[in-house]
Amino acid sequence: MGDLKEPSRITVNSTTYLIGTYRHFETDHFLREHGRHNEQGGVGRDLDEFGFGDYSSNSIISPGDVITRDVRLDSDDDSDDEEELEDYLNGLRWVMAEKTKEENSDHFVYLDEDDPNYEYWSDWGSKSFDAIQREIDKTEADLHPYLCYRENRPLQITYSVVLTVKSKEEVLYQKYFGMKLHEVQKKLATSLFGNRKTINVKKLDIGVEEMVLRLPVEMKLNVQELSVLRDLPPLCEVLDQFVDVSFPLKKVWTECIEEPMTQLPIRTALKL
């Protein structure tokens, strides 16, 4: 599971299962970034009527679920200040306008060289039109919930959760659910791993530590190789809930361990 603006994912062998909130637009006019989200399998969070992330279901814990942090703290929308987003968007639009005027010039200058933002905006000026427009689209999408809320204007959108099954890059099928994300995550994990007391795993990749793992009851993994994208302490506290921590590891990768380690029990490896 990665960025909350991307769908959550489970990959088993060569098959990837994406779970995301899908926007069903009631008009032909919608933000480009929202359309891209749908094309990529939705977003990795529930949404409210204005488009803000809805994290209320994070406090719903069922048997088998593993909490790796205080899920009540989860919020990506609220971390972005509306005024900062507006300033950023205005800057991007200015860069695009100036770059358009200077299209045939080899040198782009947004500000005087003694301005503290000179280097930052000059760097944006050196990027392609497509890259700048994509960033504008993303920022407009981040701002949109604030504008709708301020105007008390709920979106003309309905939501469902979409499960996308892919083999490598080929989409095999999609299925839509009138459920919350955590319900579909639990349903998928139970379908894949339920009623199996022990599962042998060659390599377990955990992309994000700050989440609830929706797992079947009494599931245990015998893991040969463990890879964790971020620092381990929060995960280490709960790992034995779904992994046999006495099983000898062949390799471990984490942000806090520079070199892969071999043939160590997971609990020993994670304490190094």
- Cα–Cα distance between 32 and 192 in angstroms, integer? 34
For 267, the token pair is: 């609990």
CA distances from 37 to 45, 87, 167, 225 (A): 12, 24, 19, 32
Q: Give per-residue pLDDT as tens, 154-196.
A: 988 999 999 999 998 899 999 999 999 999 999 999 999 988 8
How many Cα atoms are found within 13 Å in the side-chain-facing hemisphere of 26?
6
On the question of pLDDT at 68 being above 80, the answer is no
Q: How many CA atoms lie within 13 A of 115 on its CB side?
A: 11
Q: Cα torsion for 214, 79, 40, 47, to the nearest 10°? A: 70
How does strand 220-228 pair with strand 198-206? parallel
In this structure, the answer to whether residues 104 and 40 fall within a common structural domain is no
Cα within 13 Å of Cα(239), Cβ side = 26
Query: Is the confidence at residue 53, as pLDDT, over 60?
Result: yes
* Structural domain containing residue 209: 8-77+157-271
State which of 107, 131, 150 marks the end of a domain: 150
Share of the chain above pLDDT 90, in %: 38
Tell whether 119 and 218 lie within a shared domain: no
Give the pLDDT confidence of 23-41 residue by residue, as tens digits.
999 888 889 999 999 999 9
Q: Which residues are within 8 A (CB) of 86 and not within 5 positions of it... i.e. 6 or more apart? A: 143
Instruction: Say what the pLDDT of residue 228 is.
Output: 75
pTM: 0.80
Does any domain span residue 247?
A: yes
pLDDT of residue 209: 52
Under the banding of pLDDT at 50, 70 and 90, the label for residue 144 is very high
Higher pLDDT, residue 260 or 230: 230
What is the pLDDT, as a whole number, of residue 208?
62
pLDDT higher at 13 or 178: 178
Q: Is the pLDDT of residue 5 over 70?
A: no
pLDDT mean across residues, the chain: 81
Q: Work out the average pLDDT over 190-214.
A: 82
Residues 172, 51 share a domain: yes
Within this chain, do residues 25 and 62 fall inside the same structural domain, yes or no?
Answer: yes
